[in-house]
Amino acid sequence: MKRIYNPSLDEIEQLCIRPTQDDREIKNMVERVFQDVERYGLRAIKRYATKFDGCSDVAVLTKFEILQTSRSIDVTIKKAIDVAYSRIYAFQKKSVQTNLERVTEDGITCWIEQRAIDKVGLYVPRNLVSSVLMLGVPAQLAGSKDVALYTPPNCDALSAICYAATLCKIEKIVLLGGAQAIAAMTFGTDLTPRVNKILGPGNSYVNYAKILAQNKGIAIDMPAGPSEVMVLADGSAIPSFVASDLLSQAEHGPDSQVMLVTTSELVADTVQEEIQIQTENLMRKENINKTLINSAVVVVESMHAAIMIANEYAPEHIILSVENPEEVASKIQNAGSVFLGNYSPESAGDYASGTNHTLPTGGLAKVYSGVSVSSFQKTISFQSLTRGGLDVIGKTIETLAEVEGLDAHANAVRRRMQVEEQNEV
């Protein structure tokens, strides 16, 4: 990891540029998949399933088959899923948006109601049982119908995925992965119906496919990219903990990025030593070492400077390994998920604390939120006017409509007023 001291504004801007890879090949491949699926439908999907997933057919598990498969789950794994599900459900239930109270004034009543988004597709990368819960629980609480879960075949954790799906009341699992899964949800076939919204994490192929899906009129949760974490640390941080958090994200792959911003050079030194020690005992050390090339340790003079860098970087995850985490947290404006204190590892949010791990990356935390119950809902506004209410705002409507040159709008009000006047005569 490169070391940077008190970066200038230009250097901070450079820090905020994420690692990139040549994506021309990815884009060309995904665009070809979309073109073929749109033209040839299920035949193209099966061809790509054979090419990329090693399966000549596409299996769709029914409610009964999901239940049967889930019964072979290991007891220990089942208990872990039960705990994670209960915590995620309890937390997400608190975030369910209720219908707003009706506001009535001068004969005009307005209100807002929530409606579930139906026909949603959940994309779960191979073996990521936790993503079933992170997507399935909010969909369940929102009341979405026709929820289909897509995950690659040849999955070692299929029984666990099926068990998590049963908890979330998901009744269809399509064993299909990659860009071809997103294309299947986008265009629809007899086997894989078109959906209204696609949610879930994925690799570069999946994420570019979601962007193409959006261009075809399918809603998505958010554009997403490689995983990332930033740790803000002062002298109270525990270096071995900080190192473990950085490594937990570095293992995702060479296009991920991890950042340490600290006010203590001693912490910076010790964390880098710990990274070297801990990496040797990790299975994905090759990925980690590639990630660390594109990562940095930033030493600053004050926590104010650290917070400024964090808000500009807008990390997917940010860990506050500081003496006063609540105070610092109140100043974090741009982040996907915030972890306070030395005993709040990023892994907690990934699995079982209750918050969601499907989060904005690449600086998009400045404008996007993570997946929640509201991701599976839409808001509808309502209004009801009495004759007296129309009297109150009728002239305002007519005037503004005429300014805009929309006389039919003004006429819709004027005719109502004239009818009432005629009745009075």
pLDDT for res 417:
87
Measuring CA to CA, which residue among 134, 56, 142 is closest to residue 97?
142
Task: Report the alpha-carbon angle 133-345-340, nearest 5.
Answer: 105
Number of domains in the chain: 3
Domain match, 259 and 308 both: yes
Domain match, 154 and 236 both: no
**39, burial (CB in 10 Å: exposed 0-12, middle 13-18, buried 19+):** exposed
Tell me what pLDDT residue 425 has: 42
289 and 362 both lie in a single domain: yes
Structural domain harbouring 405: 386-424
The verdict on residue 14 lying in a domain is no
CB-based burial label for 220 (10 Å; 0-12, 13-18, 19+): buried
Q: Which residues contact 411 (CB under 8 A, 6 or more apart)?
A: none
- Which among 50, 361, 83, 109 is positioned nearest to 210, based on CA atoms? 361
Q: 321 and 390, same structural domain?
A: no
Examine residue 274 and state whether it is found in any structural domain, yes or no.
yes
Task: Kindly list the distances between the CA atom of residue 175 and the CA atoms of 21, 129, 220, in Å, as whole numbers in the listed order.
Answer: 28, 14, 20
Domain boundary pick from 191, 221, 251:
221
> Would you state the pLDDT for residue 406?
96
CA angle 290, 292, 297 (to 5 degrees): 165
User: Do 93 and 125 reside in the same domain of the chain?
Assistant: yes
Q: What burial class does residue 10 get, using C-beta atoms within 10 Å of its C-beta: 0-12 exposed, 13-18 middle, 19+ buried?
A: exposed
| Domain end marker among 221, 243, 273 | 221
Interstrand relation of 147-151 and 2-5 (parallel, antiparallel or unpaired)? unpaired
Residues 233 and 274 in one domain: yes
Residue 19: inside a domain: no
Q: Residue 420: what pLDDT?
A: 57
For residue 377, the cross-strand partners are 116
CA 111, CA 100: separation in Å to the nearest integer?
A: 6
State the catalytic residues. Answer: 316-317
Helices (H) and strands (E) in the chain, counts: 17, 15
Structure tokens at 339: 């972890």
Residues 92 and 149 in one domain: yes
Distances in Å between the Cα of 265 and the Cα atoms of 14, 46, 261, 330, 412 are: 21, 55, 10, 25, 70
Are both 122 and 268 inside the same structural domain?
A: no
Distance CA 63, CA 260 (A): 46
- Collapsing DSSP states into helix, strand and coil, what is residue 395? helix
Flag whether 2 is in a domain.
no
CATH number for the domain harbouring residue 123: 3.40.50.1980
The reply to whether 91 falls in a domain is yes
Domain shared by 214 and 338, yes or no: no
The verdict on residue 334 lying in a domain is: yes
Say if residues 54 and 154 touch (Cβ distance below 8 Å).
yes
pLDDT average per 10 residues of sequence, the chain (425 residues): 94 89 88 97 95 90 97 97 97 83 90 95 96 98 96 94 98 96 96 95 92 97 90 98 96 90 98 96 92 94 97 97 97 98 96 95 94 95 95 95 96 87 52
Q: Could you tell me if 181 and 56 lie in one domain?
A: yes
Which of 203, 221, 239 terminates a domain? The answer is: 221
* 19 phi/psi in degrees, rounded to 5: -60, 140
Look at residue 76 and tell me if it is in a domain. yes
Q: Is 419 in the same domain as 323?
A: no
What pLDDT sits at residue 5? 96
Shared-domain flag, residues 126 and 210: yes
Instruction: Look at residue 256 and tell me if it is in a domain.
Output: yes
